[in-house]
Amino acid sequence: MFFGKPIRTLSPFEVNDGLKKGEVLLVDVRERAENAAACIDCSLLLPLSEFNPNQIPSADGKLIVIYCRSGVRSADAVKRCVNAGIENIAHMGGGIIAWSAQQLPIVSKR
């Protein structure tokens, strides 16, 4: 709960479906080394240690979905975004761990 409202949480399948339909802007808040090891294609890297909600580009009507390793940091980032006035936002429950457990595609940059 944040300001009396639950944080919107999407499953990896919901996020994947939204990406395929062009309805999601995906933001990775893990650190650079984590992102280099494995990431979800077409995600924007904004590490939580440097995170500023104003760095998120215009989503042009898309739902902004934030993810991390397990869902903890992404929930924190969503709270920061809500504080900054961003409303069309959610996080991916379970993070990239849940994504990979569902055998959804991951990109390795190494």
3-state secondary structure of 16: helix
Q: Which residue is catalytic, options 39, 42, 68, 81?
A: 68
Q: How far apart are CA 36 and CA 7, in angstroms?
A: 28
Rounded Cα distance between 27 and 73, Å, is: 12
The residues, any chain, with a CB within 8 Å of residue 33's CB and separated by 6 or more, are: none
Q: Does 39 qualify as catalytic in the annotation?
A: no
Q: Count Cα neighbours of 16 within 13 Å in the Cβ-side half-sphere.
A: 14
Measured distance CA(77)–CA(90) in Å, rounded: 10
**Residues marked as catalytic:** 68
